[in-house]
Amino acid sequence: MNHSHQTRGSRYVAYLRVSTQKQGQSGLGLEAQKVAAQEYLATFGGEILAEFIEVESGKRSDRPEFTKAADYAELANATLLVAKLDRLSRDLHFITSLQKRGIRFKLCDLPEIDQLTIHILAAMAEHEARMISIRTTQALRMAKERGATLGNPLLAVQRNRDTEAANEQRVLKQQAWQSKILKVIDHLEHSEGLSTCQALADALNERGLRTARGAKFSLPIVSRLRRSRNSIMDKGDK
């Protein structure tokens, strides 16, 4: 086996990744990656400067530890050492970003392959993932053409719930804004002696204040606000 592409004084930053919190806590999968890294060093020599462990759920796309490992490798002019290609990423973007930054990386399970081959392997893995997605979409379309009922039968109910929640959120936002603007109107009435709706609207506009929808204040808007305040006060008195 030709090891000429390695140098005995190589410096590495190890990046280890486990897929779930449970694996991260138990060490399953992690230990195997550490052993792979040690065996790689035993064969090719060199030292590990730092080790970064990513514990991620399948839903997360951001990888803070990967970012730290890549930055460390770049600053230390070291090589990123990964147990297996799928531990680095099946996402071609991750591989490409490393190559664009000039960060070298090695795979413990495929030590002899060069950077171009790694890029091709990652591209093939990404292509396969895309083909699975396309095949799934085609199968669904064909099923739909055959008249099969697709999707969630409770989707309409869910949409109604979502609309209700959005409306409720909008009402709460409007109420919060109204409470704040009424305090400003109270202040203008008491401190500046403004009593007409038009004078209050002009004063609000001069101060750069806007309605909840971002429009300028008008006499009818201020009138409505004052009426709502009075009705709240009347209810409080009762």
| Mean pLDDT computed over 130-145 | 79
Residue 200 has pLDDT above 90, yes or no: yes
Residue 2 has pLDDT above 50, yes or no: no
Global pTM value: 0.46
Q: How far, rounded to the nearest angstrom, does the alpha carbon of residue 64 sit from its chain's CA centroid?
A: 11
Distance from C-alpha of 158 to C-alpha of 180, rounded to nearest angstrom = 33
Residue 12 has pLDDT above 90, yes or no: yes
Q: pLDDT tens-digit profile of 77-126?
A: 899 998 877 666 555 667 777 778 888 888 887 787 766 666 676 667 66
194: phi > 0 → left, psi -120 to 50 → alpha, else beta; which? beta
Q: pLDDT tens-digit profile of 26-50?
A: 555 888 889 999 999 999 999 999 9
Which domains does the chain possess?
11-123 (3.40.50.1390), 155-237 (no CATH)
Q: Answer whether 17's CB lies under 8 Å from 29's CB.
A: no
| Mean pLDDT computed over 15-26 | 67
* Higher pLDDT, residue 16 or 138: 16
Strand partners, 79: 12
Distance from C-alpha of 45 to C-alpha of 8, rounded to nearest angstrom = 5
